[in-house]
Amino acid sequence: MLDAGRQRGSITAMSTSYFATASLTALLLVAGTAHAADDTPATVEEITVIANDRAGLIERQPTNTVLGIDKPLIETARSASFASDLTLQRYGIETVDDLVAVSPGTFTASFYNVPGSVAVRGTLAEVYFRGFKRIENRGTYPTLLSAVQQVEIVRGPPTAFNGPGKVGGFLNFVPKTAQVEGAYLTAPTGQVEVTVGSYDKKNLSAQVGLPASFGAVEGGVYLYGEVEDSGSFYRGITPKHQLLQLSSDFSTPEGYFVSFGGMYYNSEGYVQTPGWNRLTQDLVDNQNYIRGRDTTIVDLDGNGRLTPNEIGASLTRGYFGGAAPSIDPRFTLDTGLGVSKITARDVFISDRDFSDTETQTYYLDVGRRFGPDHVVKGQLFYDQLKNQRFVSYGFPADYDTWVAEARLTYNGEFASADRNLVLNTVSGLSWRTFEGERKESTAFIALDRRDILTGATPNDIFDDPFSQEPGGIGLPWNLHNKSKWHDRGAFAVADLTIYDRLNLVLSGRLDDYSVKSQDVGSQASVANRLGQKDASGKGTYSLSASYKAPFGLMPYVTYAETAALEVSQAGDINPGQVPNGSWISDSDLRELGLKGQWLDGALVASLSAYRQTRTRLNSVNNTVVGHRSKGLELEARWVVNRNLSLSVNGNNQQTIVKGPNTGFYYIPAFAARTPGELGFGGGYAVFSYATFPSRAVDYEETTVPDTVASIYATYTSDEMSWGQAGLTGGVKYVGETSGTVPGAVVYPEHTTMTASAYYARGPWMARLNIDNLFDKLYFTPVADVYANVAVLPSVGRQWRLTVQRSF
């Protein structure tokens, strides 16, 4: 089999050139057509609501997410998108994995079927809530979109206002509030929704917004609640969650204001599954699954699982190149050998698998406006995560972490008398602190051991620390990391507009970090058990320039250098990273773009090209792996008239892993030169990916597709005596992907369709959404260290019906 990475390298070069030419031609054709109707430069200081926008595609008001200064995304010298709650509803977007429908560059490999975050420009993005970074979520629990007023997708690093972060991108969630486009509610409003659907989908939500004015104090309160108790397309997974969110906003005529609120989330049943194991090309192409089980290892005490005394030595064999490792009888399939068809609904799962999560998020803003141009604001933010989970191929975890941040800012505007020079600034101080514990055990992992079609049995379910009795035989936590870190920062952003044409933005911050971390797990080294600590100062800056040219066009350029902490999936820093300084890493971005808006803002488009370098932490051996990416992104949204709206987005990218990659990875049996029937009973791994000569040098990250694109159209009828109705149809294309070992299994390109319809009359509305309309089978690579030993088959056709009553 050919090396998929080398194949795709030439494909990327050709498709990048084609995509660039096609994207630029399309954008200039649109600009020329629109210019016939509007040849004045776009100067939008306040986004005007377009009454015809019945899909929520056009910005209603500026945002301070990117710069800390209120500014429309279409006028910001960065590649950024947003999705309003109305767009999410019309397009049927439920999870962050679905954001590929509204934003280029957001394809995400499977984090074990739990959509916690999204990958942006080929690397995992960070998640923010009201401009504050939340605790890392790499498939720990699903990040819900139902309680947002708007979600913003920013490609590239956060600016100084947001705090330190890597290039790539981030999501910012704006919760539902009692403020509508800058004004408070004037009357109570709310709605109740009931959703049912295929595979026992059941969801109930309610929301209410109330004006809350007391004398001269104006304000409002908004409350959202949701309960879900559903089945799943994948057999054996039954997700449940509860969500409660509160936001409150108040202000006085003297300019004082206060905002406070929070969000509580609890879930169970969002069990991580790798999907299919025992990967072969025949499995992907024809769904032929290799059968068989090992009976050498026996559950001697009958407790339903394999404890360390029953297993013996590790079931993960190291591969160091050259000849195959010696045959281990425990790895050999000795009964039930054969090949059978498998369906997408059959995935790796057992009754012992579980995942229980609780998060609490709170915020407080207090400030004062001194006239229209100056604001002083203090903000507090708190986020807590508790998660316990077990995946029966051998991965238990227990996270208990929290993070708090305080931020003091000053916003000011300074202008010449004729306003030919306008300077907007934001500056301030921040303090962020983290404390948490991360417990994991990877002592016995053998993902291929289970015959999925036979189902879970006692001799392929591994022990976990949750089941260990005091003083009894059981699996301990081989990693128990106790971590604390602090970040004290100072930042400033200056946004200068010259003659309402040229815009220059300078953003910078200095951070003073300190970390203290200790590992008391069963396999901790003496040094890590005693604890490690360090302190360091780092700077971050970015420069942007844009120019409002004729024909409604705005070319821009951005350069950024950033520094950020290398944290694990619980937000902690491993003590093994501290002595060599790998707990902080650098990244940079070069971005060139062209934006445009025409027809009084009814048509907006952007085209960007970027090149970035950043790092990713290998959480098993704490190796920091460098990545270099380049790509093109296109996005356009058009409210054609009051009945029809269109959106299109796409990207072409290439992500390169900078060699030598010395990270730890699990590999398939064939990569260790071992036939499946002699190796599926255990597992194989390389302690350095550079064991493969082609991975000792730069190579392509093939779990990310070269090209992703989507196009959506929404039709909404006029309001008639019988009510109002609407239809939305969408097509998504995802290019070919594969594993990353030499000769990896290849996952073909695929195209899927979604459709939705709604009917409203008076206070009632009914919505029908159908995902994967034509029941297409496709495959999503698994992220991280298991990328070569598992793949997630697609969810088949699903429908859901929502009935809504507004008041």
Q: What is the mean pLDDT of each run of 10 residues along the chain (807 residues)?
A: 41 42 43 42 44 89 88 94 95 94 93 92 91 94 95 92 90 93 89 97 98 93 98 97 97 96 97 96 98 96 92 92 92 96 98 97 97 95 98 96 98 96 97 97 94 97 86 83 97 97 97 97 94 95 97 97 93 93 94 95 96 90 91 96 95 94 95 96 95 93 96 96 97 97 96 98 97 97 92 97 97
Q: Which of 653, 651, 655 is nearest to 626 (CA)?
A: 655
Helix runs in 138-275, H state only: none
Give yes or no for a contact between 551 and 534, defined as CB atoms under 8 angstroms apart: no
Residue of 306, 220, 319, 230 whose CA lies nearest to 267: 230
Residue 303 is given by DSSP the state S
Contact 93, 143 (CB under 8 A): no
Token pair 């990877």 is at which residue? 442
Q: Which residues contact 677 (CB under 8 A, 6 or more apart)?
A: 290, 292, 332, 333, 337
Residues whose CB is less than 8 angstroms from the CB of residue 435 and which lie 6 or more positions away in sequence, other chains included = 401, 402, 403, 483, 484
Cα dihedral sign for 521, 523, 527, 528?
negative
Mark out the alpha helices in 212-353 (DSSP H runs).
281-286, 308-311
- Partners of 618 in the β-ladder: 623
What CA–CA distance (Å, rounded) separates 634 from 21? 11
Contacts of 576 by beta carbon, 8 Å cutoff, 6+ apart? 519, 525, 528, 532, 622
Q: What is the DSSP string of 1-47?
A: ---HHHHHHHHHHHHHHHHHHHHHHHHHHHHHHHHTT--SPP--SSP
Identify the DSSP state of 156: S
CA angle 631, 778, 26 (to 5 degrees): 35
Which residue is associated with the tokens 């929404």?
714
> What SS3 class is residue 527?
helix
What is the residue-wise DSSP string for 734-789? E--EE-SSTT--EE--EEEEEEEEEEEETTEEEEEEEESTT----EEEBPGGGTTT
3-state secondary structure of 261: strand
pTM listed for this prediction: 0.92
In the block, tokens 């070919």 appear at: 736
**pLDDT of res. 440:** 95
With tokens 């109740």, the residue in question is 192
Distance, CA of 714 to CA of 72 (rounded, Å):
24
Contact 54, 716 (CB under 8 A): yes
Closest CA to 339 of 273, 295, 286, 297: 286
Give which of 162, 149, 161, 145 is closest to 247, Cα–Cα: 149
The H-assigned helical ranges of 209-302 are 281-286
Q: Which of 111, 345, 282, 109 is nearest to 676 (CA)?
A: 282
